[in-house]
Amino acid sequence: MSASTTPTPAPTASGIPVIQLTGVSRTFRLPDGSAFSAVSQADLSVQAGEVLGIIGKSGAGKSTLLRLINLLERPDAGTVRVEGKDLTALSSQALRQARQGIGMIFQQFNLLQNATVADNVAFALKLHAGRRRADIERRVQECLALVGLQDKAKAYPAQLSGGQKQRVAIARALAPHPAVLLCDEPTSSLDAETTREVLATLADVNVRLGVTIVIVTHELSVVQALCHRVAVMHGGRLVETFNKADAGQGTSVLARELAALAPVAPLVPLQPSPPSVPEAASTPTPLEQEAAHV
The whole-number pLDDT of residue 95 equals: 94
Cβ atoms within 10 Å, residue 246 = 12
The whole-number pLDDT of residue 15 equals: 73
Cβ partners under 8 Å of residue 114, min gap 6: 156
CB 168 within 8 A of CB 109: yes
Report the percent of the chain where pLDDT is more than 70.
86
**pLDDT > 60? residue 26:** yes
Q: Which CATH number applies to 19-273?
A: 3.40.50.300
How would residue 280 be classed by pLDDT, with cut points 50, 70 and 90? very low
The whole-number pLDDT of residue 113 equals: 94
Is the four-CA dihedral 46, 266, 209, 63 of positive or negative sign? negative
The whole-number pLDDT of residue 287 equals: 37
How would residue 273 be classed by pLDDT, with cut points 50, 70 and 90? very low
Q: What is the pLDDT of residues 206-220, one digit of tens each?
A: 999 999 999 999 999
The whole-number pLDDT of residue 267 equals: 78
CB 262 within 8 A of CB 268: no
Cβ atoms within 10 Å, residue 272 = 15
How would residue 107 be classed by pLDDT, with cut points 50, 70 and 90? confident
How would residue 289 be classed by pLDDT, with cut points 50, 70 and 90? very low
- The strand ranges marked E within the chain are 19-29, 35-46, 51-55, 77-82, 85-86, 102-105, 180-184, 212-216, 229-234, 237-243
Q: What is the pLDDT of residues 164-176, one digit of tens each?
A: 999 999 999 999 9
CA 78 to chain centre: 23
Taking Cα atoms as reference points, which of 274, 256, 183, 190 lies closest to residue 226? Answer: 183
CB 112 within 8 A of CB 119: yes
**pLDDT > 80? residue 27:** yes
How would residue 266 be classed by pLDDT, with cut points 50, 70 and 90? confident
Cβ partners under 8 Å of residue 244, min gap 6: 10, 53, 223, 224, 227, 228, 229, 230, 258
The whole-number pLDDT of residue 40 equals: 97
User: How many Cα atoms are found within 13 Å in the side-chain-facing hemisphere of 75?
Assistant: 25
Distance CA 273, CA 221 (A): 27
The whole-number pLDDT of residue 189 equals: 84
